[in-house]
């Protein structure tokens, strides 16, 4: 068996008296699309943020490509990495949020080239060429010079996906990327994500779009109250869940 690209081991996270994650363990293989489903507050987004080190974990560990994230071991003790070291590790992941978080004063093209040029030190001309290719990939080549205020929500989210891809991550994280969109705009973002999945990108997706999960996910994980209740092939978890809590959740959201 090859080692998983992402290895999450006994991860717990508290926010005051609220325990958001309780001893969560999960593997994600390279090239796999894993969808996290569950009610609001179940821990899905917190888990994603722990993988991207936006939220520090309280106990347990997360490994990406064999590298322990956020801490280093020295003489049997763990020491938190510096912000610079964490930022270096974070370059291995791309994250797309519910809100698009584009720079409002920069064009779509400039939003995509900012990271490669300023953070990774790539040549401007190379970054521009790659950014244009990414805009074509997400169907927005004609919007290269448009500012976020001139784009629809779906178009902004597609630019956000292109911006994350420009950093050449080995793992893409999506936190309910369609939840802030009008219903008629959801499809265009899901189409881009489906193409990305077909290309072999490793993806962890927090989503309430069960049709997308059924069609694209290799595995589905149902979370409730900070724990993994059920995990398995998409067809099994969504089509014939074993656990009563999964059954109750699906019957509530599929009408």
Q: Using CA atoms, how far apart are residues 83 and 147, in angstroms rounded to an integer?
A: 31
Spatial CA neighbour of 20 closest among 54, 60, 57: 57
Look at the block and give the residue holding tokens 């990108």. Answer: 201
Question: Distance between CA atoms of 108 and 243, rounded to whole angstroms?
Answer: 45
Show the low-confidence residues of the chain (pLDDT under 50).
Answer: none
Q: What are phi and psi of 144, to 5 degrees?
A: -55, -40
How much is the pLDDT for 61?
A: 93
Q: What is the pTM of this model?
A: 0.93
Q: Give the separation between CA 212 and CA 234, rounded to whole angstroms.
A: 10
What is the pLDDT at residue 217?
95
pLDDT at 117: 93
Q: How far apart are CA 51 and CA 221, in angstroms?
A: 16
pLDDT at residue 182, as a whole number: 87
Q: From residue 64, how far is each of 163, 168, 235, 245 by CA, in Å?
A: 21, 15, 27, 30
Quick one: pLDDT at residue 101?
Answer: 86
pLDDT for 79 equals: 84
Give which of 81, 67, 53 is closest to 7, Cα–Cα. Answer: 67
pLDDT of residue 76: 75
Contact (CB, 8 A) for 97 and 172: no
- Distance from C-alpha of 28 to C-alpha of 7, rounded to nearest angstrom: 7
Cα angle, residue 234 at apex, residues 232 and 239 outer, rounded to 5°? 100
Give the other-Cβ count within 10 Å of 166's Cβ.
23
Pairing assessment for the beta strands 18-28 and 6-15 based on DSSP bridges: antiparallel
pLDDT at 64: 96
The DSSP letter of residue 147 is -
Please report the pLDDT score of residue 255 as a whole number: 60
Alpha-carbon 231 to chain mean position: 18
- The pLDDT score that the predictor gives to residue 1 is 57
């Amino acid at each position: 068996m090859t080692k998983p690209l992402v290895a999450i081991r006994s991860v717990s996270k508290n926010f005051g008296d609220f325990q958001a994650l309780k001893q969560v363990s999960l593997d994600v293989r390279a090239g796999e699309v894993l969808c996290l489903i569950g009610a609001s507050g179940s821990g899905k987004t917190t888990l994603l943020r722990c993988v991207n080190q936006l939220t520090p974990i309280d106990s347990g560990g997360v490994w990406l490509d064999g590298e322990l994230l956020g801490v280093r071991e020295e003489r049997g003790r763990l020491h938190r990495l510096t912000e610079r070291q964490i930022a270096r590790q974070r370059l291995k992941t791309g994250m797309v949020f519910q809100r698009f978080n584009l720079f409002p004063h920069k064009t779509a093209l400039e939003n995509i080239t900012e990271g490669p040029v300023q953070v990774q030190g790539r040549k401007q001309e190379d970054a521009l060429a790659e950014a244009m290719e990414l805009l074509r990939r997400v169907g927005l080549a004609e919007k290269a010079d448009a500012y976020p205020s001139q784009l629809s929500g779906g178009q902004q989210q597609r630019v956000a996906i292109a911006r994350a891809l420009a950093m050449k991550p080995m793992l893409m994280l999506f936190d309910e990327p369609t939840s802030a969109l009008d219903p008629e705009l959801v499809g265009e973002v899901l189409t881009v994500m489906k193409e990305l999945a077909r290309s072999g990108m490793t993806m962890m997706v927090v989503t309430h779009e069960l049709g997308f999960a059924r069609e694209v996910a290799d595995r589905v994980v149902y979370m409730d109250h900070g724990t993994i209740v059920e995990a398995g092939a998409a067809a099994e978890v969504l089509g014939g869940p074993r656990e009563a809590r999964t059954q109750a959740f699906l019957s509530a959201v599929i009408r």
